[in-house]
A and B are shown apart, each in its own frame.
Chain A
Amino acid sequence: GENVEQHPSTLSVQEGDSAVIKCTYSDSASNYFPWYKQELGKRPQLIIDIRSNVGEKKDQRIAVTLNKTAKHFSLHITETQPEDSAVYFCAASNGNQFYFGTGTSLTVIP
């Protein structure tokens, strides 16, 4: 089955700096890679996703890059704000199941 690894497990940045979270996957059949943000006590919320036919996608301060050959994808958050503080999960899907990374706890220091 799929194995998704995520790094780092914790990340602290100063407000206004950038944050980068990286994930690798093992199953070459995976073709959809979403990122979720989960605030304490809340449900995971989809923030951005990318499909295997695209190398990069951007939505305002959030961007995701995908390297299919190396089987890794990354989340980039620019101009971080305190409200970006949360746990972020990457996931990989082959269209049938979703497999999640272990999560990154991001703290943005005002």
Chain B
Amino acid sequence: SAVISQKPSRDICQRGTSLTIQCQVDSQVTMMFWYRQQPGQSLTLIATANQGSEATYESGFVIDKFPISRPNLTFSTLTVSNMSPEDSSIYLCSGAVGTGGNEQFFGPGTRLTVL
């Protein structure tokens, strides 16, 4: 298994600003992902963080709004840019180990509130 930490755990931000969320894994993982989860809702995949190259974004998410970095196998960042109240959500990172990126483990999440 993998132990995943995130920081900050929560933040309250002003409209128009940006926040960078950090995700650290205690061991090397095959893949890392970023999700968004609205309260009481399911997890929506934002993007796959690729080591040393541009992230792969899902439909509805773009690099200008959610730039992602993954400089090595155990660390990734997600930036929420030019925030609006609609960006208020929980953001979770995850790491997947094993063949084909299976056995996914989640970080504790970052609760973001945009005023």
Which A residues are closer than 8 A to B by beta carbons? Answer: 1, 31-32, 34, 42-46, 49, 51, 89, 93, 95-103
Most B CB contacts (10 A, CB to CB) among A42, A51, A95, A98 go to: A98
With beta carbons under 8 angstroms apart, the residue of A42, A89, A93, A102 that contacts B102 is A93
With beta carbons under 8 angstroms apart, the residue of A34, A98, A103 that contacts B45 is A98
Which B residues are closer than 8 A to A by beta carbons? Answer: 31, 33, 41-45, 48, 58-59, 92, 94, 96, 99-109
The 9 residue pairs across chains A and B that have the minimum distance between CB atoms: A95-B100, A43-B106, A100-B43, A102-B42, A32-B102, A100-B42, A103-B42, A44-B106, A43-B108
Inter-chain CA distance A45–B109, complex, in Å, is 12
* A86 vs chain B, min Cβ distance (A): 13
With beta carbons under 8 angstroms apart, the residue of B42, B48, B59, B103 that contacts A96 is B48
Inter-chain CA distance A70–B2, complex, in Å, is 33
Residue contact A103 to B41, C-beta cutoff 8 Å: yes
Inter-chain CA distance A100–B100, complex, in Å, is 17
